[in-house]
Chain A
């Protein structure tokens, strides 16, 4: 059972544009939602994370928007740069466990 659905599967954005990746979850026990960035040959790197008590969190060019009632959250990358080209994963976790449930990933390509 896929508990975190991620879309789109791939995304092409021009340099300077806004990249938007969406995730939806089913398990209402989830209470921590991180985003990871992965470059080829590397492990995932933690980008930004949010808890459901806030609707938005911003760190530099990266913003998470969270809609608890819709059970959806999204990553916005402002002023996208070619160096942002990577695969992005949303994830979710519940309670005090470490286990992360990941989305299927979005391959982002930022063109010049």
Chain B
């Protein structure tokens, strides 16, 4: 069974731009969560989606948003990029919301 896939794997943007990251969960998984990983702040929860609905949101500004499609695929968007948004963005999927989460390889975003 294929794992969680994330595209693109690497991305370079400049301040003020916006970016969209994509995540395809493991087949059959209906819950998708997003995390930001940085050396300074570690792994921080962004939001989770289940059945196309955002179920929980972390402590991030409104510039960070996401959505989930009917096939469980998810996208996250960051608008008006700041230097501090440079990070590894990780997507994790699980069968249901309370079941074990499996992570993808991440998208490395660099903001110049």
Contact = CB atoms under 8 A, between A and B. Distances in A.
A99 B42 CA distance: 15
Contact of B33 (A46, A49, A99): A99
Contacts of A28: none
Given A43-B105, A97-B97, A102 B42 contact: yes
A93 B44 CA distance: 13
B55 A97 contact: yes
Given A97-B48, A97-B56, A105 B101 contact: no
Interface in B65-103: 90, 92, 94, 97-98, 100-103
Please tell me the size bucket of the interface on A.
20 to 34
B58 interface: yes
Contacts of B105: 41-43
B100 A43 contact: no
Contacts of B4: 43
B43 A98 contact: no
A112 B55 CA distance: 46
Interface of B: 4, 31, 33, 35, 42-45, 48, 50, 55-56, 58, 90, 92, 94, 97-98, 100-106
7 contacts: A43-B92, A43-B104, A46-B103, A97-B48, A100-B43, A100-B101, A102-B42
